[in-house]
Amino acid sequence: MAPTVPAFAGVAEREPPSAVLWLLVIGVAALSWVMACRRWWLPLALWVPVALFDSALVADLVDPVIGPAVRQELGLSYMMQADVTSALTLVLPLMFANAMFIRREQVKPKLRRDIWRR
């Protein structure tokens, strides 16, 4: 008699490892910073593909069949890390765009005053 194997064994192989998720966060942060230094709105273009990736990742984790299988294979810590990294990758481009927009607005009035004084 063959040993019983759960119906969804190996489901976690489809999910990216947690190290890859954290490297994605670092990559999104670095790319957002570089893009925001060029133009304040460029990180917003990065937000759309990141949001699509995060929605696919979270959709797998909250699925009523796949989610418990992933939780059983990888543990609750993976689920928490996936949620935190998804939230960070969504927020980081918006944070960098906002920071550069505010910096640009603070510098702009000073430049206008200098032009009128000349």
Q: What tens digit of pLDDT does each residue of 35-60 get? A: 999 999 999 999 999 999 999 999 99
Instruction: Give me the number of domains the chain comprises.
Output: 1
| CA–CA distance, 61 with 82 (Å, rounded to integer) | 9
Report d(CA 9, CA 95) in Å as an integer: 39
Mean pLDDT of 71-96: 94
Instruction: Compute the average pLDDT of residues 8-31.
Output: 89
| Domain limits for position 83 | 18-117
pLDDT digits (tens, 9 = 90+) for 16-27: 999 999 999 999
**Is 80 within the bounds of a domain?**
yes
